[in-house]
Amino acid sequence: MGNFSQLVYLVPLFPLIGFLINGLLWKRMPKNLGGIIGTLAILCSFAVSLGIFFEVKDPAFHGPVIVHLFDFIQSGKLIIPFAFQVDALSALFLLIITGVGFLIHVYSTSYMHHDEGMVKYFAYLNLFVFSMLLLVLGANYLIMFIGWEGVGLCSYLLIGFWFKNRDYTNAAKKAFVMNRIGDLGFLVGMLLILLTFGTLSYQDFFGQLHGSQTIVPTSTYNWIALCLFIGATGKSAQIPLYTWLPDAMAGPTPVSALIHAATMVTAGIYMIARSGALYSLAPMILHVVAIIGLATAILAATIAIKQYDIKKVLAYSTVSQLGFMFLALGVGAYTTAVFHVMTHAFFKALLFLGSGSVIHAMGGEQDIRKMGGLGKYMRITQATFLIGCLAISGIPGFSGFFSKDAILTDAFAHDPILYYLGIGAAMMTAFYMFRLYFLTFNGSFRGTEDQRHHLHESPYAMTIPLMILAVLSIVGGYVGIPEVLGGHNLFNTYLSNVVTNFGEHHLSESTEWILMTVSVVAAVIMIVVAYVVNKKPDFAENKGFAKLLENKWYVDEIYDAIIIRPMEGLSNLLDKFAEKKGIDGVVNGVGKTVRWGGDRLRLLQSGQVGFYIFIMVLGIVVLFTLSFFWIR
């Protein structure tokens, strides 16, 4: 095998160059050329990533390769290098990011073609890929943090891409601030690691974890793990910091596919899988992770059932699927979580790009109440979208089946209650995805006559990525066939050198068969229910519980009432009273006194020279007298 891992710096370098070219020359750059440059940059990265992947996959590859670029921060004994780490985990993420990223870039060249800001768009997109690559390549937490905040910035810039719309820029701001709340957790966790272990490098840190279990109290592990997890809830949209993600749909649809479904939002899963050695020492926090993940999976799924915006349904579905991944992490099945990251990247990117194709055909319309019967007009979009729906619902033969089944099995082994609740969320998933599918592609068209004339299949630049992703959404799961189906889980073997699962349980073969059958039957039933319910859709105003779901459990309103408004009130109070009346009042009072004193003293300065001379003589006499006695 070639020595690709030493060239790993090229992987983020290409998108950085693409960003710089498009970012600096955005005024003069022709739109098409900007798109080509941006897309080529990712293609080059993908090529290098492939080389790295095959090198790492080779059994002859031993341990992680650290590529040291330069010393980033150095102060006394504290040295934090700017270094990359190549191992099975980072190589896998490289492939997902650059591979899916490339397809989405290709798609964007067509989707964004009419937008005047196309060059700027590609500059941002390349900057995003660069940051995401830093995030997964860093050999220490600080480099991960650089990428972590970098992707947050790009997300902010792309959500608010159409900056003239105040709602969009509000959504961008909300995403950034909510991420920052999580980032503070990350920062504190990072500092705790630094304080306790004196290093941020993965190798040193995990090395010490194996050696020093007796010296460091468990509570320290718990605190570190909890702080990092807070960071993950922000980036990966988990309770309580998930509300920014649905709003993030304000950005262009390919951005939703790349950033808000396939890559950035999985950063939290990457972080915890990467820190698996730490979390295995903090079982209490693993319980928290599992509970938060499961709760998010269920909550988001209930909301998705009653949404009418095609992208909002997918957004809540993403939140819910991320919840599943955290459930897997929480039961110690880190590799399973990463497996679901991969399959989810394929089918969710597919679904989002498919929805983009639909929105494109509908002339910007996103309300599924005004769609229906689109299958006749756009066969490729319909077929690929269906594959995505089957994959996410966990129908056997599609990638989602393998990863979701693995999560549910691991959950059962950990605690059957987690499994039952998980099945509930999975059933809702099948229902709302097929509700979306039937309302969009089946039945008769419910939009305007103008829209009907406009309906068309999207150009090849958009449909080819759809087809490739559809193929991946099917075959992507076959790398992780469970042993009960006579397979050999290549995926777990591949990651086993880097990520060690915590407390693996083994279920009997018959139990696994039963669990699998139950989840498949449940999904199929829900698809049928979705078909029946939506055969003659009725969009009467929602009442009671349905209205509660349509309004997202009023969580945004609750946050507004208990956090945002009190915060504003406090700020105003501090400004008007503490600052202006309080502190400044006292100061001005002192000032007035001084002025008053000054006015009195001024009377002495009458301007009469005689008076001054008198005072001067008096002073000299006094000084003379004093010094006379002093010398004595």
Can you give the binding site for another protein, defined by CB under 8 A?
70-76, 78, 142, 145-146, 149-150, 153, 156, 160, 163-164, 166, 169-170, 173, 176-177, 180-181, 183-184, 187-188, 191-192, 194-195, 567-568, 570-572, 574-575, 578-579, 583-584, 587-588, 590-591, 594-595
Q: How far is the CB of 209 from another protein (least distance, A)?
A: 20
Q: How far is the CB of 169 from another protein (least distance, A)?
A: 5
> Measured from the CB atom, is 73 or 562 closer to another protein?
73
In our burial notation (b when 16+ CB lie closer than 10 A, e otherwise), range 175-187 reads: bbebbeebbebbb
Of 219, 234, 114, which is closest to residue 162 (Cα–Cα)? 114
Number of helices (H) and strands (E), helices first, in the chain?
27, 2
> Measured from the CB atom, is 397 or 566 closer to another protein?
566
Q: Which residue has the tokens 């909300």?
A: 174
Q: How far is the CB of 151 from another protein (least distance, A)?
A: 11
Spatial distance between the Cα atoms of 19 and 128, rounded to a whole number of angstroms: 9
Q: Which residue has the tokens 């909550």?
A: 299
DSSP for 103-140 reads HHHHHHHHHTTT-TTHHHHHHHHHHHHHHHHHHHHBSB
> Measured from the CB atom, is 558 or 583 closer to another protein?
583
Distance from chain centroid for Cα 546: 28
Cβ count within 10 A of residue 496: 13
Q: How far is the CB of 306 from another protein (least distance, A)?
A: 31
> Measured from the CB atom, is 503 or 566 closer to another protein?
566
> Measured from the CB atom, is 184 or 467 closer to another protein?
184
> Measured from the CB atom, is 490 or 594 closer to another protein?
594
Of 431, 630, 408, 382, which is closest to residue 533 (Cα–Cα)? 431
Q: Which residue has the tokens 């098409």?
A: 32
Q: Which residue has the tokens 């957790």?
A: 185
DSSP for 199-210 reads --BHHHHHHHHH
> Measured from the CB atom, is 192 or 515 closer to another protein?
192
Q: DSSP 3-state assignment of 373?
A: coil
> Measured from the CB atom, is 197 or 419 closer to another protein?
197
> Measured from the CB atom, is 192 or 436 closer to another protein?
192
DSSP conformation class of 497: T
Please check whether residue 229 is in contact with residue 317, taking contact to mean a CB–CB distance below 8 angstroms. Answer: no
Spatial distance between the Cα atoms of 138 and 287, rounded to a whole number of angstroms: 28
Alpha helices by DSSP H, listed for 394-543, are 399-414, 416-441, 449-454, 460-475, 490-495, 509-533
Spatial distance between the Cα atoms of 530 and 430, rounded to a whole number of angstroms: 8
Alpha helices by DSSP H, listed for 160-241, are 166-197, 202-211, 218-235
> Measured from the CB atom, is 72 or 377 closer to another protein?
72
Q: Any bridge partners for residue 80, and if so which?
A: 73
